[in-house]
Chain A
């Protein structure tokens, strides 16, 4: 009886190496590809099928494009589309402008304690949904809310933030702006810090004032970053869900019903999964359309 101590397969058989210059990239993308196939592509295709059906579980049946036809004729879908568009058009420019001003302030060498302010303005974007909901329900109360209290110091009458369709939309805009302005400001700040100092010095030698330096150096240098934030904020706002979900529930009178919230209501509240999936695809088309349009603008 012999005891074999050799470790098989270690050195004996010379093999063609599995990892070559040709196979490396495939190996590198393999984990991402697997994740994409299993957790993105398959569920998305499954949802595509679901959007062509009605009912759930054993009662599911194929209905073709019925859900999409219904979508086009559904006044609430159009309301949600209108609301989402309105919030997008109003909120994104305001937020990005504020973020830019904030970044300029945070980048100014005249300002003391910059690190502290920077941390502070970034904090809102670290908030989880639970904390966010609790905070804003207290901030936005009409009679004992922090915001109305703050405004009362300036002599403003209490505003019914969640009670009027107009103010509820404003409330959503305020909440969104609070949540994400700091995040964008920090991105801009990073951009500002990467602009070469000598550009400004040269401009100053040429006698350019601060406004001129801003428009002819800062803005063009920041352009790619500005566009990136516009694209990301647009995608985020088109999919807006958290704020109306925790603050208004879509009301009053559906004035803050967004597409994503309507999608959720149809799926999780009314168990109308086929319809919810159809809404999701409509939303996807819209978001993709915006994304492509903005990318095109960037190229130009």
Chain B
């Protein structure tokens, strides 16, 4: 009996969390004029194909999705490598300036994002990277939270494990690859979800850094649909619904590792 009550409560919370997404998915299947009508549309309409076709025509949906995916994957992969290497150094080596640098790095967590955007834009422009994917990827490779997470979880990896591999004559990178990465899989998965989420949804910086519509990422392209009072919400809804999908798929695939990986940041201080 108690189990059913609890299940019912959780189902209600589930409804509150997922309800808006359900509405969003339904909205994507209705025409612009019907989307916000009352009572809300909780059943599918017949405009999904039409909305998608219009969206493809106006922003080049396939191309834009390709751009977004490329940038998000490259940014995620790059930041994971950088975080892992730095986290490994912070956790397993002693070197001059280690603690100072670690504290400096972490302290950037508290700086509001908008502040650094103008200097970075000037810099990117001066070296001719504006309107290129590296302009989007490079600034996000050194992620304090990622390095912090990697360091914390690597502290939990016993030194003996590493030393054993070293005794067998493995180089540092080999130790990293053969010994550290296998035990770190859950944390890496958690970090991947976290980084991908940020990269996939990033808006302000790509808006500023990209110039040609063929280079746009999805959030920037969706913003370009907006005109004063004239926004075609049919298109926006399809785009928004599509933009939510990859995250859900990624989370579904990685959720086991993600959940145990999240712990890593908190276990050792």
Q: Mark A residues whose CB is within 8 Å of B.
A: 19, 22, 24-26, 28-29, 31-36, 38-44, 46-47, 50, 102, 105-106, 108, 110-113, 116-131, 134-136, 138-139, 143-144, 146, 149, 178, 182, 186-187, 189-191, 193-194, 224-225, 227-228, 235, 239, 241, 260, 263-264, 267-268, 273, 276-277, 280, 283-284, 287-288, 291, 298
A29 x B120 contact (CB < 8 A): no
Residues of B within 8 A of A (CB): 2-3, 6-7, 9-11, 13-14, 16-21, 23-24, 36, 38-40, 81-83, 85-86, 88-90, 93-95, 98, 101, 104-105, 107-120, 123, 138-139, 141-142, 147, 171-172, 197, 200-201, 203, 219, 222-223, 233, 236-237, 239-241, 243-244, 247-248, 251-252, 255, 258-263, 265-267, 269
Chain A residues, CB < 8 A from B237: 134
**In the complex the two chains form, what is the Cα distance from A227 to B267 in whole Å?**
11
A120 in contact with B14 given A25-B95, A139-B20 (CB within 8 Å) = yes
4 interchain residue pairs of minimum CB distance: A35-B142, A110-B3, A43-B116, A128-B201
Interface Cβ pair total, 8 Å cutoff: 245
**B40 in contact with A138 (CB, 8 Å):** yes
On whether the beta carbons of B260 and A134 are closer than 8 Å, the reply is: no
A-B contact pairs, 26 of them (CB 8 A): A19-B171, A26-B89, A28-B88, A28-B89, A31-B142, A35-B141, A36-B108, A43-B120, A47-B115, A117-B11, A120-B13, A120-B14, A123-B18, A123-B21, A126-B244, A130-B236, A135-B21, A178-B16, A178-B17, A186-B262, A194-B267, A224-B267, A235-B109, A239-B112, A239-B113, A241-B112
Do A225 and B266 touch across chains, with their CB atoms under 8 A apart?
yes
Of the listed residues B39, B116, B258, the one surrounded by the most CB atoms of chain A closer than 10 A to its CB is B116
Partner of B142, one of A39, A121, A138: A39
Q: Considering the chains assembled together, what is the distance between the CA atoms of A287 and B85 in angstroms?
A: 28
CB–CB A263/B114 < 8 A? yes
Known: A36-B108, A38-B123, A235-B110. A121 touches B17 (CB 8 A): yes
Name A29's contact: one of B23, B89, B223, B244 (CB within 8 Å): B89
**Cβ–Cβ < 8 Å partners of A43 in chain B:** 115-120, 123
Secondary structure of the B contact surface, majority rule: helix
* Residue numbers in B under 8 Å from A40 (CB-CB): 105, 108, 111, 116, 142
Decide if A105 touches B40 in the complex (CB within 8 Å). no
A138 touches B23 (CB 8 A): yes
Known A-B contacts A28-B93, A191-B263; the reply to A129 vs B85 at CB < 8 A is: no
Partner of A288, one of B110, B114, B147: B110
Residues of B within 8 A of A260 (CB): 112, 114
Q: Say yes or no: A44 contacts B197, CB within 8 Å.
A: no
A179: nearest residue on chain B (CB-CB)? B17
**Are B260 and A277 in touch, CB under 8 angstroms?**
no
**Least distance between B236 CB and chain A CB atoms (Å):** 7
How far apart sit A39 and B237, CA to CA, in the bound complex (Å)?
34
Are the C-beta atoms of B107 and A288 separated by less than 8 Å? yes
